[in-house]
Amino acid sequence: MTSQRRWRLLVTEAADGATNMAIDEALWRGRQAGTSPPTLRFFAWAPPTVSLGYGQPLGRDVDVDACRALGVGLVRRPTGGSAIYHDGPERELTYSVVATAADLGIGPDLLETYQWIGRALLRGLQALGAPAELVPERPPAGPAPAFCFARTGVFEIEAGGKKLVGSAQRRQGESFLQHGAVLLGVDEPRLRALFPTTRDPLSTLTTLEAALGRRPSFDDVASALAEAFENEHGLDLRPAGIDDDETERVDRLVSERYASPAWLAASA
């Protein structure tokens, strides 16, 4: 094993979509500037929220009226990909990784980064007992679907041939932000209501509850994944919070971007 590299382990309380996405971008901008350490973060959502990909149109593929009726938030992510329904901590753990290629000890290739993160996620999920597999590189079939879990991407994770973890990344230069949803369970009626144009959204996804025959807790999954990142990559994860400069950046990003109707309506 190589010498350990010190990273921050950040576990935040469940928050609304604007706050969660502002935290992720604040950590990313801090890493770009060299003022924030490489960070592995685990978090949840309150209220449950649909997040749109950075360049995904806000159209008919997500039922905005159903979101309002069900008390589901709606936010645009700083990363790409397709829409995801993020449930509360009883049904989902969301992770994010903020780092540079040098922090990982690899080259700047995007797929290499995906694989690096995927290997750690895979190790943690297998430690929980899930029959998880890392999907090898393969060409996508057709245009990107509106719903993230409708198709498994390169170096994402499946169990029993169905998607278990959905991830998205955005990078600038050497630095990147990647985050993804680990499904502990699923609210089937709500998922169908939120994605009316996706034919049977349940047919392509699975959950840890289905894979294990029980639903593990948010804390159990977070612990397994943190240990896996340490063991797979020789990291020294140090629990820590968000500093004052990052907090100021979060507040600014919430008001200027992620809580803004204009940001939600726009697409890159």
In the Cβ-directed half-sphere of 172, how many Cα atoms lie within 13 Å? 9
Specify the pLDDT at position 110.
81
Q: Please say whether the beta carbons of 169 and 116 come within 8 A.
A: no
Quote the number of domains for the chain.
1
Domain CATH number, residue 13: 3.30.930.10
> Can you list the residues of the chain whose pLDDT is less than 50?
1-2
At position 117, the amino acid (one-letter code) is I
Is 97 within a domain? yes
**Residue 110 lies inside a defined structural domain of this protein:** yes
Domain that holds residue 24: 5-261
185: DSSP letter: -
Q: Which of 166, 159, 165 is nearest to 210 (CA)?
A: 159
**pTM value surpassing 0.85:** yes
CB within 8 A of 260, min separation 6: which ones? none
By annotation, the residues acting in catalysis are 148
Q: How far is Cα of residue 62 from the mean position of the Cα atoms in its chain?
A: 19
Q: Is residue 267 part of a domain?
A: no
Is 54 part of a structural domain of the chain? yes
Paired residues of 41 in beta bridges: 10, 96
For the range 70-73, what are the long-range contacts, defined as Cβ-Cβ under 8 Å and sequence gap of 24 or more?
70/190, 70/193, 70/194, 71/47, 72/47, 72/48, 72/190, 72/194, 73/16, 73/17, 73/45, 73/47, 73/48, 73/49
Q: Quick check: is 122 in a domain?
A: yes
User: What is the DSSP-derived secondary structure letter of residue 240?
Assistant: -
| Whole-number Å distance between alpha carbons of 201 and 221 | 24
70-74, long-range: CB < 8 A, 24+ apart: 70/190, 70/193, 70/194, 71/47, 72/47, 72/48, 72/190, 72/194, 73/16, 73/17, 73/45, 73/47, 73/48, 73/49, 74/17, 74/49, 74/50, 74/264
Determine the residue type at 145: P
| 268 lies in some domain | no
The pLDDT score that the predictor gives to residue 30 is 96
Q: Which two tokens stand for residue 257?
A: 């971007």
pLDDT the model gives residue 106: 87
Determine how β-strand 162-172 pairs with β-strand 49-52.
Answer: unpaired
Give CA–CA dist 94/74, Å, rounded. Answer: 16
Domain assignment present for 81: yes
Q: What is the pLDDT of residue 3?
A: 55
Is the peptide bond between 47 and the residue preceding it cis, with omega within 30 degrees of 0? yes
pLDDT on residue 201: 79
Q: Quick check: helix, strand or coil at residue 15? A: strand
Q: What is the pLDDT of residue 85?
A: 93
Whether residue 266 is contained in a domain is answered as: no
